[in-house]
Amino acid sequence: MANSTQDAIAGTTADALYQTERYGSYSYKVPVTAGTFTVDLHMAEIYSTTAGARSFNVSVEGQVVLPNVDLYTQAGHDGAFDYTVENVRVTDGVLNITLESLVDNATLAGFALYSADGKLDTSVPEPTCSGYVAITYDDGPSGNTGAFVNALKSASLVPVTFFVNGANIGNNSAGIRQMLEVGEVQSHAFNHVDMGSYSAAQVTDQLSRNNQAIQNAGAPKPTIFRPPYGTLNNTIRQAASSLGLYSITWDVDSQDWNGASVSAIVAANGRLQNGQVILMHENQPNSLTAIPQIAANLKSRGLCPGKISPSTGRAVAP
Looking at residue 66, its pLDDT comes to 95
Inter-residue long-range contacts of 223-227, CB under 8 Å, 24+ positions, other chains counted:
223/186, 223/310, 224/161, 224/163, 224/186, 224/187, 224/248, 224/308, 224/310, 224/313, 225/186, 225/187, 225/188, 225/189, 226/136, 226/138, 226/163, 226/186, 226/187, 226/188, 226/250, 227/188, 227/189, 227/195
Taking the C-alpha atoms of residue 15 and residue 67, their distance in angstroms, rounded to an integer, is 25
Of 26, 182, 154, give the one whose Cα is nearest residue 96: 26
Query: Average model confidence (pLDDT) for the chain?
Result: 93
Pairwise CA distance, residues 42 & 80, whole Å:
7
Q: Interior CA angle at 163 toward 157 and 166, to 5°?
A: 135
pTM of the prediction?
Answer: 0.64
Q: What domains appear along the chain, each with residue ranges and CATH number?
A: 2-115 (2.60.120.430), 131-316 (3.20.20.370)
The pLDDT tens digits of the residues spanning 28-77 come to 999 988 889 999 999 999 999 999 999 999 999 999 999 999 999 999 99
Q: What is the DSSP letter of 127?
A: P
What's the mean pLDDT in 208-222?
A: 95
Q: Which residues pair with 100 in a beta bridge?
A: 57
Residue 166 has pLDDT above 70, yes or no: yes
Judge whether residue 169 has pLDDT over 60. Answer: yes
What percent of the chain clears pLDDT 90, i.e. is strictly above it? 83
**pLDDT digits 0-9 by tens, 82-123:** 999 999 999 888 999 999 999 999 999 999 998 878 776 666
More confident residue, 161 or 5: 161
> How confident is the model at residue 170, as a pLDDT?
85
**Range list of β-strands (E), 104-244:** 107-108, 110-115, 131-140, 160-164, 183-187, 224-225
Q: What is the pLDDT of residue 121?
A: 65
Query: pLDDT tens-digit profile of 115-160?
Result: 878 776 666 555 568 899 999 999 999 989 999 999 999 998 999 9
